[in-house]
Every structure is written in structure tokens, then in C-alpha cells.
Chains A and B, each alone.
Chain A
């Protein structure tokens, strides 16, 4: 991969990697550090990574760095610490989406990462398995259970409302 290819990766994927990390770790500065670490690792291996595989390489790196960071911290940040609407530019940030975000925060780290890779980036079970080191079956189980949980979470909140 050339320098131009690398810079193109920055422009194309930095936002997606940042979103993935921010919504997982829910800390702006930590997410920024992880983004920089991920791209630094890509730069170090720029000659070994092809331009086509750069995105999956970035997400794989970001996922593993996220897990390492989470294990070091060993705690979940309060949802109130980060107001996702500050970093979101959606014209309609509906109540359902807000409830969904809160529900996602309740998931385990692996489930949350897996379902974000599935919905945000459209990766297949196999690709997600390759990135996370999980088996394809485990990825599928995580996604299915996450959907059940989110459905019940949103439904329970709506019921209360």
C-alpha cells in the first residue's frame, strides 16, 4: 500500500472506526487514542497490508485494542458521560434510536462489538469471526441474542412510557 493509499484509508475509514470505538467505549479521548493507535499500526504494516484489506485490518486492530483497553479499565462508563447526540449528525435522532443506544450499552463487550460490525459496516458472520477471533457460530449466537435483548429492552421501555 502506498502513502496515497494510506491517506485514502484515513479519509474513508477514520469516521467509521471512530464511531465503532466511541459507541463501544463511550469516552471521546479514549476513542481518539484508540483510533490513532489503530492507524499507527496500519502505518507500521503499510507495506504488508493491501489497500483492499485495509478496512478489515483497521477494524480488527480497533476491536482488539478496544478489548485490551476494556480489560485494563475493567469498568463500564456511565452512559450519561457521553451524549451521543454531540457526535451524531443525524437529522432525526428518534426516541427509539436513543433507547436502542442505551440498550446497546447494556450488552456485553463482545456482543456490542459484533452487532456494531454487523449493522454499521455490513460485515458477514465469517468476516466478523475473522476480525474478532470468535467462531462463526459464536458470532451468530451473539447477534441473535443481542437482537432478542434489544427487542425486549426497547419493548419494556416503550411499555413504561
Chain B
């Protein structure tokens, strides 16, 4: 603090009245007052003046209060405009705000200015690399699924199904002479086959030309009369589990086919299930002629040939994979020709399958 003079004594007087002078400053003030008695009288006069606090209070003080919802730094009117714009106001307050908008021009202008701050998504931005994001799904067409399924069935049957023995099982001979045969021929227009059956007298005669003694199915007779299930031999030339005789089974399947009613099926024409599946595979998938299918034995070279044909159709090439068969239907040689090479090779017996 500056030294006490007649130019700044008021400051010293106010500090004295506020009690803010130190002991040394107080002694300095008292010495000054002794030297300046007129100022001593002035200090005595100021000391008695003070203001008394009144009891007035602010009306509607609550209007100044802020809630946690109030955002620091934003005026109340701005927050009100934004809240209306963001649909944050309760319904009643929103209605009152809208009423006030119509009356208060300044509020209307402020509200319009805030509405301009809404970003417009209508300016659409297009992402130009959408194709890079797409994922592809592999869909197998039905015919591929059919081909795969057929091939799997054929392979499974190929390895698991036992080959029927070439000679007829001696146990079948017993079919020729059932212990009792009380079957009566049906009445009506039934025509018996000409081969080995006797007229409807119940006397069956065994034959040597048809050891099964089973007549072929004809359109005019019931197929089920020829091979009763209970007449199937339970003896098999193959040791192991008892299985129905393959030849009889062939005819049983064949005689059950509806087409057999119109097309007589012989023992030689009937197919086992794996054989039928294989025939279907060769005709439908490999696209081979039925006659060729019946006359030739299946070989993986046929699959290769179908593959070559497929490549030709896709690529427009002219490759050929020809197979030569012997009298038994086995492939004995293959030849491959294309624009660049032409080769031929014999096939050994074990390579046929």
C-alpha cells in the first residue's frame, strides 16, 4: 500500500473501517490523524454511516432454476426451440410452443433458423463398389444332385451287393414239387402260358427246361400266383446268412412292376436294384442308348467319355473318346482323338470296371 498522504487518505479510511489495516498501518494512520485534525473529524463522521439489509425476496425464483435436463451453455429459448424440433417436448408444452410461435415473430425466426440445421439425407450418396461386398452361394442344380445321388447308390450297391451265383441253386428245384398243391385255377378268361404248366387239375409236372417251373407273367393272369413267397427255397448254395434266391427275387421284382402287366418280363430281362440303378445312371446321366447299356458292361471309361462330351459342349471342342467292346460287352480298347493328339490303347480285363 502506498504511503499515507492527503491525496490517498480515503483509501486508508476505508481499509480502517473494513478492519483491513495491520498494526503498523494503524499506527501510521493515527500519527497522520494527529498531524491532520480536520481529517480526524472527517473520519469520525464517516464511521457512523452503514446500510441495513432489507427483507426483500425475488418473486418466482424457481424460474431461474435449472434441471439436469438443461444443457449448460445453451440459452433456455434455444433449448426450447431445439426440443420442439427434436420432438422432445411433452404434448402440452409442444402445443403451447406452437401457439407462442404464431404470436412471437422473433421466436418464429429463431425456430426457422434452427430448422435449417437439420441435415438432409435426400442428397443420396451412392457406394460404387457394392459388388465387391456381395457374397455368392453355390447352388447345385437338381440334375447334379440326382447324378451324385445315383452315383453314390451305384457305388454302394456295387461294393456291397453280392453277385448272384451263375448256376441255379439246387435248393430251387424243390419249388417244382410242393408237398401239397391245392391251388385252383381262376375262373374267367385266364389263359395259361404254353410253356410248362398243366391245365387246372392240380397236377404239376416237373420239367427240365424250366427248372424254376415258373411261367412268365402275362397280361391275363395274376402275377402273384407264379412264385408264392412260401415256396422260395430257404437253402442257398452260398454259406452265410439266409437270403432270398436272387433269381427268384429278380422275377418277384419284375412281376411286381406295373409295366410287366403289358410287357412280359423274362428271367434274363429282370434286373436287380443295383443293376437297375446302374442302367438308369448310364441312360439318364451318361446319355447312352438303352440297347448299348444292355449289351455292354459298365466301365469308368464310360464316365470319362461322358466327361469328354461335356467338355466338347462347353468349350466347343471336338474331342472323342471311343471304346471298343468284345462279344461279352467288355471294353477291350479305347481311343482318344483331338485336334492335337490321337492315341489308342488296349484295355486289360481288370481295367474294365
Distance of A14 Cα from B125 Cα, bound (Å): 10
Chain A residues touching B, majority SS: helix
Q: Render B108-126 as a binary contact track against A, CB cut-off 8 A, 1 for contact.
A: 0000011011111111111
Partner of B116, one of A11, A36, A140, A154: A154
Q: Is there a chain A Cβ closer than 8 Å to B71's Cβ?
A: yes
Distance of A17 Cα from B125 Cα, bound (Å): 10
Within 8 A of A (CB), among B67-107: 68, 71, 73-74, 78-79, 82, 85-86, 88
Whether the pair A144, B71 counts as a contact (CB closer than 8 A) is yes
Chain B residues touching A, majority SS: loop
A-B interface contact total, Cβ < 8 Å: 101
- Shortest distance between the CB of A80 and any CB in chain B (Å): 18
Q: Is there a chain B Cβ closer than 8 Å to A131's Cβ?
A: no
Whether the pair A18, B74 counts as a contact (CB closer than 8 A) is no
- Shortest distance between the CB of B74 and any CB in chain A (Å): 6
Known: A39-B133, A119-B118. A18 touches B123 (CB 8 A): no
Q: Is there a chain B Cβ closer than 8 Å to A148's Cβ?
A: yes
Q: Is there a chain A Cβ closer than 8 Å to B143's Cβ?
A: no
**Interface residue tally for chain B (C-beta within 8 Å):** 32
Whether the pair B133, A104 counts as a contact (CB closer than 8 A) is no
Q: Is there a chain A Cβ closer than 8 Å to B132's Cβ?
A: yes
Q: Which residues of A contact B113 (CB under 8 A)?
A: 151, 154-155
- Shortest distance between the CB of B256 and any CB in chain A (Å): 44
Whether the pair B117, A19 counts as a contact (CB closer than 8 A) is no
Partner of B114, one of A3, A89, A147: A147
Distance of A121 Cα from B121 Cα, bound (Å): 8
Q: Is there a chain A Cβ closer than 8 Å to B129's Cβ?
A: yes
Q: Is there a chain B Cβ closer than 8 Å to A48's Cβ?
A: no
Within 8 A of B (CB), among A35-65: 35-36, 39, 43
Distance of A2 Cα from B106 Cα, bound (Å): 55
Partner of A116, one of B71, B119, B129, B132: B119
Q: Render A71-84 as a binary contact track against B, CB cut-off 8 A, 1 for contact.
A: 00000000000001
Whether the pair A148, B74 counts as a contact (CB closer than 8 A) is yes
Distance of A159 Cα from B129 Cα, bound (Å): 41
Q: Which residues of B contact A11 (CB under 8 A)?
A: 130
Whether the pair A6, B135 counts as a contact (CB closer than 8 A) is yes
Within 8 A of B (CB), among A116-161: 116, 119-121, 137, 140-141, 143-148, 150-151, 154-155
Distance of A15 Cα from B133 Cα, bound (Å): 12
Q: Is there a chain A Cβ closer than 8 Å to B189's Cβ?
A: no
Q: Render B219-233 as a binary contact track against A, CB cut-off 8 A, 1 for contact.
A: 000000000000000
6 A-B pairs within 8 Å (CB atoms) are namely A11-B130, A88-B123, A88-B124, A120-B119, A150-B117, A151-B113
5 A-B pairs closest in CB distance? A90-B123, A119-B119, A18-B127, A19-B125, A150-B117
Further contacts, 12 of them, CB under 8 A, given A3-B136, A151-B113? A3-B135, A6-B135, A14-B127, A32-B127, A32-B129, A36-B133, A39-B133, A90-B123, A97-B120, A144-B71, A145-B71, A147-B85
